[in-house]
Amino acid sequence: MTKIFVFPGQGSQKVGMGAELFREFPQEVAFADAILGYSIEELCLKDSEKRLHRTEFTQPALFVVNALAYLHAVERNGTRPDFAAGHSLGEYNALFAAGAFDFITGLRLVQRRGQLMGRADGGTMAAVVGLSPEQVEQCLRVGGNDEVDIASLNAPEQTVISGAASAFERVEAALTAAGAREVVRLRVSAAFHSRYMKKAEAEFASFLSQFEFSSLDFPVVSNLHAALYAPDQIHACLAGQISKPVRWTETIQLLARQPEPVFEELGPSKLLTPLIKSTVKRTGGV
């Protein structure tokens, strides 16, 4: 059996997340409060100031909850996984789990990432259901490829697009005409994982250069390449991930080829689990 931990990213946050974890790990909670300058427990459990869905708050909150969920799982099971992967922000938790950096460093990284990505505005994203990535790409070429990119390849028939809000009406029309069952706008303020994140990517690359990362204790799959991390790739992959698509389908196909793979999603929700099941069922891991 191959044990595989996966961690969700932005979009999985919800008020009340982590309620069972904060008391279990008071030291990590105290570290988070000191670094962030606010109560992570209040943000996650009450969100009295309505900040949880703002990118600069969402990303640190998810990193903390995912990290605590991982620590809980290791204490519960007594063993670590054989592989790990994370969707977008969740990749930081996969790298934390594998020992690339400690909890404090990881939190500082995602805090800065969230700040930089949260500054961008004017873009939008949508999940396209019922078309293959190739069909979506064709629609973008017809309907506005100069302004909209593929942001995430989530499953064989679920692709997320990202770009200028002004182009989405004609892109949606092209997708619907091609047979998309749904084109669902996402609750985001910017065009993540697209060309519009290039400035944030450059600034984050400069920030990352201040850090040194440790070798991994077990393999982690990169969003950027859908391949196992090489020892010297962490800086480049984490920077490039901001403006490039999340290759989640290929990631799951790679992991599904391991002997008797067992996936476990750790975090505040189970958004990745149906995507994994869909990918494995439709492709057989090939």
Under DSSP, the state recorded for 195 is: G
Residues marked active site are found at 88, 193
pLDDT of residue 224: 96
Q: Which of 33-47, 134-148, 201-215 has the lowest mean pLDDT?
A: 134-148
Structure tokens belonging to residue 175: 């997708």
pLDDT of residue 40: 98
CATH code of the domain made up of 123-185 = 3.30.70.250
Instruction: Indicate if the pLDDT at residue 216 is higher than 80.
Output: yes
| Rounded mean pLDDT, 262-283 | 93
- CA-to-CA dists, residue 65 to 13, 24, 111, 278, angstroms: 9, 12, 14, 26
Question: Which listed CATH number (3.40.366.10, 3.40.50.720, 3.40.50.920, 3.40.50.450) goes with 2-120+195-283?
Answer: 3.40.366.10
Q: What percent of the chain has pLDDT over 90?
A: 88
Read off the pLDDT band of 189 (50, 70, 90).
confident
Instruction: Indicate if the pLDDT at residue 235 is higher than 50.
Output: yes
Instruction: Indicate if the pLDDT at residue 196 is higher than 90.
Output: yes
Read off the pLDDT band of 169 (50, 70, 90).
confident
DSSP string covering 108-134 = HHHHHHHHHHHH--SEEEEEEESS-HH
- Provide long-range contacts, Cβ within 8 A and 24+ apart, for 165-170: 165/122, 165/123, 165/124, 167/143, 168/124, 168/126, 170/143, 170/144
| Rounded mean pLDDT, 97-101 | 98
- ∠ CA 29-35-39, nearest 5°, is 50
Instruction: Indicate if the pLDDT at residue 122 is higher than 90.
Output: no
Question: How far is residue 182's CA from residue 128's CA, in Å, rounded to a whole number?
Answer: 6
Read off the pLDDT band of 286 (50, 70, 90).
very low
pLDDT digits (tens, 9 = 90+) for 2-45: 999 999 999 999 999 999 999 999 999 999 999 999 999 999 99
- Break the chain into its structural domains and give their ranges: 2-120+195-283, 123-185
Question: How far is residue 17's CA from residue 41's CA, in Å, rounded to a whole number?
Answer: 9
Instruction: Indicate if the pLDDT at residue 212 is higher than 70.
Output: yes
What angle do the packed helices 103-119 and 55-77 form, to 10 degrees?
A: 150
User: Can you give the pTM of this predicted structure?
Assistant: 0.95
DSSP string covering 146-172 = TTEEEEEEEETTEEEEEEEGGGHHHHH
